[in-house]
Amino acid sequence: MRPTLALLVCFVSACAGSAAEPSAVAESCPVARPDFGSVATAADRALFAYDAAAPLSLQKTVESTANGVEVSVISFSSPGGGSVTALLFDPITRAGLRPGIVLMHGAPGNARQMAGQGRALAAHGAVVIAIDAPFARRSGQWIRFTDQDRAEQIQLIKDLQRAVDVLRARPNVDDDRIAYLGVSYGGAMGALLVGIERRLQAAVLEVADGGLVSHFTGAEDVGAMASLSCATRAGWLSAMAPIEPIRFIPLASPTPLLLQNGRSDNLVPQADAEALHAAAPDPKTIRWYDAGHSLGAQALADRHAWLNGQIGLDLLQP
């Protein structure tokens, strides 16, 4: 994961464009992971509150229909301002109430990266929303090492809660069978979401670590963080550490969690994944694979079987 910033910002299995190097600076100060302190408080959780009664202002344009799955481009109002853009995967040929799933992509990236999983899950009966992160809805680098990163992380968690609202507003979704599935950055942000969102019946955190601060302050991240000025680094850590997902995941109970990681993942070291696993409460299922950041077919099958047990997906065909 960690020799260069170019690798560091590829918080997914493949880079979606190179990131600009921070300016080199003459000054130096220690690079260390901060003590995240206690579990998130009620005041910490209040940062992610929003007006659930506000109009969704949902817009939808059908993009394609194949194999019983309708794919649409949608947008809805963001509590942080503007509109959330997303993809909706609807199993239109399936009768009765269906489970719902919110998908979250890696970084850098966007909802299109989750289209394969979205189509597959919809083909097995789920209504699926894959949203774009706030950074994917603007130009420039996905991470800025400024207060904007804090604002966008808070907005993302509100947007993900709003995506749950969208699913619950659909006539073919069972409100009692909604799950979350996040990959890499999306998995880490899911660790925060499960400490906030109480309407989830299950959550899958795939190749996740403890969050952005954990990601950029590991022993092998010295080159990236040291290239920032001491003042910039201190300001960013002060802004981001209080909303680090590893502080929120202990509040996930009673939502069941599936945590999947690869033993040879060069983007999420085993120690960082284990720290998140240790912070996660029961009920939790931990699965390790002899794989890198892309976990492969067995992890996919395990994920589907676990979700089936939690929210009732249609079984995979042999």
Amino acid at 105: H
Which of 13-22, 165-174, 245-254 is predicted with the least confidence, judged by mean pLDDT? 13-22
Measure the CA–CA gap between 130 and 103, rounded to whole angstroms.
4
Tell the CATH topology of 53-311. Answer: Rossmann fold (3.40.50)
Q: What is the mean pLDDT of residues 287-301?
A: 96
Comparing C-alpha atoms, which of 226, 200, 214 is closest to residue 276? 214
**239-256 pLDDT, tens digit each:** 999 999 999 999 999 999
Collapsing DSSP to helix, strand or coil, 12 comes out as coil
- Domain definitions of the chain by residue range: 53-311
Q: Could you tell me the CA-to-CA distances from 126 to 7, 154, 265 in Å, in that order?
A: 34, 27, 29
Angle ∠(51,122,252) on CA atoms, nearest 5: 45
Closest CA to 290 of 260, 316, 255: 260
What's the rounded Cα separation, in Å, for the pair 183 and 12? 8
State how beta strands 284-289 and 173-183 pair: unpaired
Residues 6 or more apart whose CB falls under 8 angstroms from that of 309 comprise none
DSSP 127-175: EEEEEPPGGGGSSS-S--SSHHHHHHHHHHHHHHHHHHHHHHHSTTEEE
- Two tokens, residue 227: 């290239």
Alpha-carbon span 137 to 178, nearest angstrom: 25
Q: From 151, 106, 99, select the one nearest 129 (Cα to Cα).
A: 99
CA-wise closest residue to 122 among 307, 318, 309: 307
pLDDT score of 224 more than 90: no
Segment among 34-38, 152-156, 202-206 with least mean pLDDT:
34-38
Nearest CA-CA partner of 109 in 205, 189, 3, 213: 189
Position 275 confidence tier, pLDDT thresholds 50, 70, 90: very high
Q: How far apart are CA 9 and CA 1, in angstroms?
A: 9
Structure confidence at residue 5 (pLDDT) = 33
Omega before residue 283 within 30° of 0, cis: yes
- Do residues 106 and 186 touch, judged by C-beta distance below 8 A? yes
Neighbours of 25 (CB within 10 A): 15
Question: What sign does the CA torsion over 263, 265, 271, 275 have?
Answer: negative
Q: What is the mean pLDDT of the chain?
A: 89
Strand partners, 76: 84
Residue-wise pLDDT tens digits, 50-83 = 999 999 999 999 999 999 999 999 999 999 999 9
pLDDT at position 242, please?
A: 96
Give the Cα separation of 65 and 144 in Å (integer).
Answer: 38
Q: Which residue has the higher pLDDT, 23 or 93?
A: 93
257 to 55, 101, 154: CA distances (angstroms): 31, 14, 22
pLDDT in the model for residue 314? 83
Per-residue pLDDT tens digits for 183-193: 999 999 999 99
